[in-house]
Amino acid sequence: MQISFKKQQLTEVKDELLCVAVLQNLEFPKELSELTKTLRKEEFEGKVGQAVTLTTLGKLSFKKLLLYGLGEEKDFNLDFVRRFAGTAIRVAIGMKSDNISIALPKTKGVSPSDFAQAIVEASTVANYKCIKFKSKKDDYFEVKQITVVGTEDVSVAVQKGFILGTAQNYVRDNNENPANIATPQKLAELAQILSKEKGFAIEVLGKEEMKKKGMNAILGVNQGSPLPPVMVLMEYNKDKKNLPLYSVVGKGITFDSGGISIKPAKGMQEMKYDKTGAITTLGIMKAVAELKLQIRLIGAFTATENMPSGTAQRPGDIVTSYNGKTIEVLNTDAEGRLILADTLAYVAERKPEYMIDLATLTGAIIVALGRFRIGLFSNDDKLAIAIFDAGEHTFERVWRMPLDQEYSDMDKGDFADVKNIGSESGDAGSITAACFLKEFIGETKWAHLDIAAVDAVEKHPYLDKGASGIGLRLVVETLERLAKK
């Protein structure tokens, strides 16, 4: 797929489909009045999400016009424009149109660049569908050329939107790989390929190095699997010591069966997405390098399966983690926090100014927030505010949750320092999980994003069913905001 910007009047568009978004109760673009004058109010009045397709019958240089409603100006949200672009791509795919033009909308308070970036992000992700495992690919159609049309030059924003949309698709495509394909070793190879391509420094720790370093929390989770674990640390701009150092850490459970505390069979296949944090970390590194952000960035993850077997970790086992704290493993299904314990402690030694982790950590976050907001936990207000604002802007929204001492107290162990579940009943399950992570970050300014509810989507205005890649645009936008301050 190609995306470009063209300075053009709407009447000059020669593609099969021109897509135009309009606010409710405002006039349609004058150039299109020949077509739109026949529209009755009942057919289309610009209500948010409303869409009609009109045939131009040779009266204009393009064949079809898609009109999309953005609703009233007072209720406007930039994500309506992403949904417009998503609809444009779906209509084009339905018509089997190879090339389409999308007009830049106009409303007060939003720059043409923000519009262009949002349109390109959403059209890039809407044009992706995972077909690599289908033996017949014929019924699949993809739009080949998308042209953003407007009167102000927004080529830079178009390029930026394309980098972000493509990185999000990279996350979706890799995260869709099931556990028999995406083994821990495969994730390490993916990191090696990316690092070579982008010039990152890279460190890969295998099982033996982990044993030497005392990363027993990871090794405990791994011991039920025949596949060895890996820890990967990539670094962007490693030698530019004058730039601020940030870090992103991802949970990479390639399959979470629960281990001996085994999960119910129903829906267990979804646990191939338990590596979302790790894959998103790779996508973030890719986007940050392509956008040439003026920061240093460590992207780290640990990957392993969580499997039951005769050698698997048992409930009640006690392990000593990398930072020396002892952990009672009361539930082997609370494994994400165990592998993150060692990984966060290891990355914290590098003394990054900020550390952000992404983890499909708890089912409880779906109970707390549903699927519309990511759980945010942070020990630093400035970082939390940057993430919150980035969430509103990218529409990958977050909601901040507490980290009070009382919740940390729930994690205190009877026999070891901490236990890996806060209570048998699951009270405050996401919060006690976040408080557990906090035991391993030292003094680092840190934020934890519990992305369990958004790793994959069923129905979405611009994403096909499956791995979502949600979280990538949020974190890249956050890093940009932190670097500016």
Chain contacts with ligand BES (rule: CB under 6 A): 256, 274, 331, 333-336, 360-364, 421, 429, 452
Can residue 253 be called a binding residue for Zn ion (CB under 5 A)?
yes
Residue 381 forms beta bridges with which residues?
none
Which lies closer to ligand BES via its Cβ, residue 256 or residue 477? 256
> From the CB of 412, what's the least distance to ligand BES, in Å?
16
Residue 452 contacts which entry, Zn ion, ligand BES, none (Cβ below 5-8 A, type-dependent) = ligand BES
Specify the amino acid at residue 139. D
Can residue 277 be called a binding residue for Zn ion (CB under 5 A)?
no
Token pair listed for 268:
């267990």
Beta strand pairing status for 354-359 and 445-450? Answer: parallel
Residue 362 contacts which entry, Zn ion, ligand BES, none (Cβ below 5-8 A, type-dependent) = ligand BES
Which lies closer to Zn ion via its Cβ, residue 81 or residue 221? 221
If phi > 0 it is left, if psi is from -120 to 50 it is alpha, else beta; for residue 258 that is left
Rounded CA-CA distance 267/455 in Å is: 14
Rounded CA-CA distance 76/73 in Å is: 5
Q: Nearest 5°: CA angle at 442, between 302 and 331?
A: 50
Residue 259 contacts which entry, Zn ion, ligand BES, none (Cβ below 5-8 A, type-dependent) = none
Which lies closer to ligand BES via its Cβ, residue 334 or residue 348? 334
Among the residue ranges 120-128, 158-166, 231-239, 254-262, the one whose residues contact Zn ion (CB under 5 A): 254-262
Residue 15 contacts which entry, ligand BES, Zn ion, none (Cβ below 5-8 A, type-dependent) = none
> From the CB of 259, what's the least distance to Zn ion, in Å?
8
Can residue 79 be called a binding residue for Zn ion (CB under 5 A)?
no
Residue 82 forms beta bridges with which residues?
none
Which lies closer to ligand BES via its Cβ, residue 17 or residue 179? 179
Can residue 274 be called a binding residue for Zn ion (CB under 5 A)?
yes
Residue 364 contacts which entry, Zn ion, ligand BES, none (Cβ below 5-8 A, type-dependent) = ligand BES
> From the CB of 433, what's the least distance to ligand BES, in Å?
7
Rounded CA-CA distance 396/398 in Å is: 7
Q: Is 412 a catalytic residue?
A: no
Helix (H) or strand (E) holding 395: none
> From the CB of 368, what's the least distance to ligand BES, in Å?
11
- The distance of Cα 234 from the centroid of its chain, to the nearest Å, equals 18
CB neighbour list of residue 58: distance below 8 Å, 6 or more residues apart:
none
Rounded CA-CA distance 142/123 in Å is: 11
Instruction: Measure Cα distances from 85 to 1, 20, 123, 126, 381 in Å.
Output: 15, 10, 5, 8, 34
Which lies closer to ligand BES via its Cβ, residue 92 or residue 418? 418
Token pair listed for 18:
């021109």
Which lies closer to ligand BES via its Cβ, residue 66 or residue 330? 330
If phi > 0 it is left, if psi is from -120 to 50 it is alpha, else beta; for residue 259 that is left
Which residue's beta carbon is nearest to the bound ligand BES? 363
Rounded CA-CA distance 310/222 in Å is: 13
Site residues for Zn ion, 423-442, by CB under 5 A, read none
Site residues for Zn ion, 303-342, by CB under 5 A, read 333, 335-336
Residue 363 contacts which entry, Zn ion, ligand BES, none (Cβ below 5-8 A, type-dependent) = ligand BES
Among the residue ranges 116-124, 208-216, 246-254, 464-472, the one whose residues contact Zn ion (CB under 5 A): 246-254
Task: Out of 15, 79, 256, 328, name the contact with Zn ion by CB under 5 A.
Answer: 256
Give the DSSP per-residue string, 405-469: HHHHHHTB-SSSSEES-S-SS-TTHHHHHHHHHHTTSTT-EEEEEE-TTTSEESS-SS--SEE--
Residue of 90, 251, 337, 397 with catalytic role: 337
Residue of 186, 263, 325, 371 with catalytic role: 263
Q: Is 337 a catalytic residue?
A: yes
Catalytic residues: 263, 337
Q: Which residues form the interface with Zn ion (CB under 5 A)?
A: 253, 256, 274, 333, 335-336
